[in-house]
Structure 1
Amino acid sequence: MKPPAEGKSAESKSADDSSVEIAFEGRRIAARRGESLAAALTGDGVRVMRSNRSGDERGLFCGMGVCHDCIVEVDGCANQRSCMTKVDRPMQVRREAHGRPPLPPAAGEALASGAAAERLSPDILVIGAGPGGLSAALAARRAGAEVLVVDERSQAGGQYFKQLAVEGPGIAPADRQHREGRALIETVVAAGVTIRSGCTVWGGFDPGLFAAADAAGAMEITPGATIVATGAYERGWPVPGWTLPGVMTTGAAQTLWRTARRLPGRRVLIAGNGPLNLQLAAELIAGGAEIVAVAEAAARPGLASAGLLLEMARAAPELVGEGVRYHARRRAAGTPMLYGTLITGIEATASGLTARVASPAGERTFEVDAVCLGYGFEPASELLRALGCGHDYDADRRQLAVRRDGRGLTDVAGIYALGDCTGLGGARLALAEGVLVGLAAAESLGRPIPAALRAEAARADKDRARHRRFQRALWQLYAAPAYDWSLATPDTLLCRCEEVTFGQIEAALGENMREIGAVKRRTRVGMGRCQGRYCAPLLDAFLADRFGRPRDEFTGFAPRIPVKPVAIEDIARLAP
């Protein structure tokens, strides 16, 4: 069922209207209006948000609505993702026990009495309001197309341009990255693009029919052309203890800071692979956290890396400059950078967490409040796959990449794709690509492209080329080994949602099950709320290694509708 209607009464306003009181299991928590419920709870020291069927505690993990580990009950309404729930009124919040409450008795009446789905037919539908989606929407609108942008988050901007949602005394103001994103959002809105935030597209059907839902109800969208810009989410790194409260992705910790100025903890270990971990370290240090170490899986750059660094500096000197500044802040704080180092296990203690890391030089342990894991990304391509868009396996990135031409058109008519959902490229590449894809989509609908926009497209094409050069060099610099199966024990969870261990997977393989579908049916791996987003790529790679066969678009789980969890009532609204 949906949460109750959200409103603000006169009595809910305090002298400081930015402060909102949350009642959490006998505690009174002073939250900040506009932040996520997960941020407010984390800021008050709450780490445990639910328990699973086995009674194990879970907390904030992905911070972007993918994993569903942070679900709570809000004002009597169960299954609310605290990371996606904005604090805009006083709330009564409870932890969820087992996370699967029964369907309310009145559910049938609500289905029968609810309003029919809203029906929309824009020229162009853009799914995702990150840098690429916003850039594409703006270009298409400037070409004369009517554009609707839908995005699951409460604010446009995506992961890179995530906006600061709080303000007040003692809160660090918006930085340059925030301001750049805000300027883009305002420009897009001023151009006449419609943005529907808090809107989840859960299904794509032939020909050109999309099912979506937001707080107001269900939607049926039939655009002339569609641009999918759904971004990416962080890979799982299953080691003992990776499901403990206080262990979260790098992106989740960055969202806490960049949207709500909340720290994941006072003492933090950051472990993973890639430049986002370094940026997070610099930001949390500026916020007052002690970063005990950044454990980077890639080897330390040496003289052999000079050519890559030179190529990066030529292609995008501004991005290299950012990296230099992040390192300078890290060094000034005394935070060590541990190259060639992997996290191998995490344990709960009376005061927090103990994390173990290992490198060729040996093993170290750290006592911390929080552990941030960032071992790369998986494209959020589930909608593209469900639509039938072809994909190829990229062995270098260890991920599926959608097939598309130079203007972003996939092999399904009218479906374009750009940004990190097509393979990791970063925000700058997505911004450039958005111009080209937005204009291509508009032109496919018969909109003429004036000379000024064609000149802008030419500049964007050059920007796209140089940022591709930068990304190629960057990921050669950050080249790191894939997940090592020896890191897991038989009791280590592979599937967070259905609580399936590596031992259970091995038992299924011992029954001569060699196909991923058979293993799924035998163990329920991938059948939970995240729908296999964390376990499926790992299991696919595991089976490929075990049986010596290549990965492709058919070796993993088959795409299924709905691609995101959705209320039953919203499915029912689409009935003719």
Structure 2
Amino acid sequence: MSRPMHETYDVVVIGAGPAGIAAATTAAGNGARTLLLDENAGPGGQVWRAITSTPVKQPSILGEDYWAGRSEVEALRKSGAEIIHGATVWSLDPSLEIAISIGGGSSFVRAGRVIVATGAQERPFPIPGWTLPGVMTAGAAQTLIKNAGLVPDGRLVIAGQGPLLWLLSAQILRLGGKIDRILDTTPRGNRGTALPRALPFLTSPYLVKGLKMMREVRRNTRIVKNVEMIEALGDGQLASVRYSAGGVAETLPADLLLLHHGVVPNVNLAMAAGVRHEWNEVQLCWTPVLDGNGQSSVEGIYVAGDGAGIGGALAALERGRIAAFAALKALGRNVPAGGEASARSALGRAEKGREFLDLLYKPAPQFRIPQGDTIVCRCEEIRASDVLKAVETGATGPNQAKAYLRTGMGPCQGRLCGLTVTELMAKARGTTPAEIGYYRLRAPVKPVSLNELADLPPDTDAIKAVVRE
């Protein structure tokens, strides 16, 4: 097992996506003893996944935004930060003690400041049949492209909305793949809601890139707009996709269905550490309550990147730098003049147009709040009707539903059902997601084996990491 070199660090960064890379580079580059922990085999997160090892070498296939990560990774490696990959952080205590599993064993480190940069995850897309083999998320397909250069074969349908849907479609086509149909679920009414916020987007760096990419996809694929219903059909394996748009229904034969309804912050670790979160009515998710530096409600814990609210890779970079500068100043370190101001200026440019995109790609209720026998909790195979029965029985929120049904108690610890359960219960009770709340999350936030627990030093800290009051 490759353990951390030290027991204490000035700054520990969790997550090696754009925000984590920028935070660790900034902290270590300014003299702080810095540890960067990440679950993946290499740096990059989802945006720059396999940036140092991808077999897809032709720059135009993955795009210039992907390859921009190479210089950031090079700067990280020169910064002096200690980097450990294959490291699962399963506990973060408010005292800034961190429990890590690496190679089958666990250990603790303590930090002066912690920067949580756990990034985003794809929003749950609970449609009938979404648990069938042959149904995947768009992000999973993109991981296969970046890690192994693999493109889907057979009859492919992509459904959903948002920038990643168009990017993935373009990458599949550039690699020689074929897409039978794209089912665009962007609600017709969103355009009118987003239009008043269009001006910043028109002057942002995203407009020209986005239009060019969409034209590229439209030239090579049939796209159905205003899709209002989707079902995955098959007996033990995906066989077809049924959808309706404009009151017209159609069933397509399909070997693979890729789903995507945008991304939301990955909040489990920060929530388990006690960081206060609030419901974001625009992005329809939970986001941490932070100050302008990324400092959370727990002293010494900062949150940066898409885990602080979805903003994209460029914004994540600058949020990581700003959090690192704040952590350095809190530790009494000197911060170079102009560095923080430059990061804030770049953040302002990166966030231009974000509100327009959030409003344009706000998912329709029927794709967020399932009905009937549609699976809600994949780990425990709990259906929407089961959750509604729990509400009728007296469950007032997700934690009561967990006690009745075991929702959120599987290996994903609510990552794939949490938002759905909150919104489903809020609708059933005629209230808001903010009133319903979220699961109470506690360590360990990721599955830990008995062997890993047995590897912990036998002291009070080890007990506290697993059993919280």
The two structures have a TM-score, normalised by structure 2, of 0.90
The corresponding residue for 2:126 is: 238
- Equivalent residue number for residue 196 of structure 1: 84
**Contact 1:386 / 1:559 at 8 angstroms: preserved in 2?**
yes
Residues 435, 493 of structure 1: alpha-carbon distance in 2 compared, 3 angstrom cutoff: same
- Is residue 2:292 matched to residue 1:406? yes
Q: What displacement does 1:514 show?
A: 3.3
Question: Partner of 1:522 in structure 2?
Answer: 404
Once the two structures are TM-superposed, the CA of residue 178 in structure 1 deviates from its matched residue by: 4.0
Cα gap change, 1:264 to 1:214, in 2 (>3 Å): farther
| Distance change in 2, residues 1:303/1:244 (3 Å) | closer
SS in 2 for 1:508: helix
| Contact residue 198 and residue 353 of structure 2 kept, 8 A | no
- Report the CA distance between 1:412 and its aligned residue: 0.9
Distance (whole Å) between structure 2 residues aligned to residue 302 and residue 403 of structure 1: 29
SS class of match (2:151): coil
Partner AA of 1:251 in structure 2: G
Q: Matches of 1:129 and 1:489 in 2, distance apart?
A: 40
Q: Structure 1's 508 and 466: CA in aligned 2 closer, same or farther, altered over 3 A? A: same
1:65-464 aligned within 5 A: 120-163=7-50, 165-167=53-55, 175-215=63-103, 217-299=105-187, 308-316=197-205, 319-333=206-220, 335-348=221-234, 353-451=239-337, 455-464=338-347
Q: Aligned-pair distance for 1:351?
A: 8.8
Q: 1:116/1:324 Cα in 2 relative to 1: closer, same or farther (>3 Å)?
A: closer
Q: Distance in 1 between matches of 2:180 and 2:187?
A: 19
In the aligned structure 2, how far is the partner of 1:538 from the partner of 1:310?
A: 32
1:117-171 deviation per Cα after TM superposition (whole angstroms, max 9, x unaligned) = 9863121000000001111111112222121110111111001111253539999
Q: 1:196-223: per-residue Cα shift (whole Å, max 9, x none)?
A: 1110100012311010111162120101
For residues 492-548 of structure 1, give each alpha carbon's deviation from its aligned partner in whole angstroms, at most 9, with x where no partner exists: 211111111223223333433334323222222211111111112111111111112
Contact 2:278 2:434 in 1 (8 A): yes
Distance 1:439 1:312 in 2: 28
After superposition, give the CA deviation of every residue in 1:213-261 in whole Å (9 maximum; x if it has no partner).
1116212010110000001111222222100111111100111112211
The answer as to 2:360 corresponding to 1:467 is no
2:230 partner letter: T
Give the percent of matched residue pairs that are identical in Structure 1 and Structure 2. 31
Amino acid at match of 2:47: Y
> 1:419, CA displacement in angstroms?
1.1
Are residues 474 and 525 of structure 1, via their aligned partners in 2, closer, same or farther at CA, if it must alter by over 3 Å?
Answer: same
The corresponding residue for 1:95 is: none
Q: Find the aligned partners of 2:193 and 2:412 in 1 and give their Cα distance.
A: 41
CA RMSD of aligned residues (A): 2.7
Q: What secondary structure is seen at the aligned counterpart in 1 of 2:36?
A: strand
Corresponding letter in the other structure for 2:138: T
Q: After the TM superposition, which of the residue ranges 534-543 and 174-183 deviates more from structure 2?
A: 174-183
State the partner residue of 1:531.
Answer: 413
Return the letter of the residue paired with 1:559.
L
**Equivalent position amino acid for 2:410 in 1:** G
Q: Which residue of 2 aligns with 1:541?
A: 423
The alpha-carbon deviation at position 305 of structure 1 amounts to: 6.5
Code of the aligned partner of 2:361: Y
Cα 1:136–1:554 shift into 2, 3 Å: farther
Preserved CA contact (<8 Å) 1:126 1:150:
yes
Cross-structure match for 1:567: 449
1:512 alignment counterpart: 394
Contact 2:61 2:174 in 1 (8 A): no
Match of 2:9, SS state, is coil
Partner AA of 2:375 in structure 1? L
Cα distance in 2 for partners of 1:410, 1:157 equals 24
Report Cα offsets for 1:180-203 as digits up to 9, x if no partner.
212211111111112111101000
The answer as to 2:368 corresponding to 1:482 is no
Checking the alignment, whether the CA contact within 8 Å between 1:516 and 1:555 is kept in structure 2 is: yes
Quote how far apart the aligned CAs of 1:311 are: 2.3
Within 1, Cα distance between the matches of 2:60 and 2:322? 36
The residue aligned with 1:91 is none
Q: Compared with structure 1, are the counterparts of its residues 248 and 502 closer, same or farther at alpha carbon in structure 2 (3 Å cutoff)?
A: same
Shift of 1:432: 1.5
For structure 1, the residue ranges without an aligned partner over 5 or more in a row are 6-114
Question: Which one-letter code corresponds to 1:366 in the other structure?
Answer: L
**Number of residue equivalences:** 456
Task: Give the Å deviation of 1:175.
Answer: 5.0
Opposite residue 201 of structure 2, the aligned amino acid is M
Distance 1:242 1:515 in 2: 24
SS of 1:315's equivalent? coil
Larger gyration radius, structure 1 or structure 2: 1
Which stretch shifts more, 528-537 or 513-522? 513-522
**Greater relative CO (CA pairs within 8 A, separation 6+):** 2
Letter in 1 for 2:343: A
* CA–CA separation in structure 2 for the residues paired with 1:297 and 1:470: 21
SS of the residue corresponding to residue 291 of structure 1 reads coil
**Contact 2:158/2:259 (8 A) holds in 1:** yes
Corresponding residue for residue 465 of structure 2: none
Measured after TM superposition, the shift of residue 356 of structure 1 is: 1.5
The whole-number CA distance in structure 1 between the counterparts of 2:452 and 2:211 is: 48
In structure 2, C-alpha distance between the alignment counterparts of 1:480 and 1:413, rounded to whole Å: 34
Tell me: CA distance 1:167–1:258, structure 2 relative to 1, closer, same or farther (3 Å): closer
**Matched letter for residue 362 of structure 1:** V
Q: Relative to 1, partners in 2 of residues 1:125 and 1:288: Cα closer, same or farther, differing over 3 Å?
A: same
* CA drift at 1:403: 1.0
| Equivalent pair of 2:370/2:424 in contact (CA under 8 Å) | no
Using a 3 Å threshold, how does the CA distance of structure 1 residues 346 and 274 change in structure 2: closer, same or farther? Answer: same
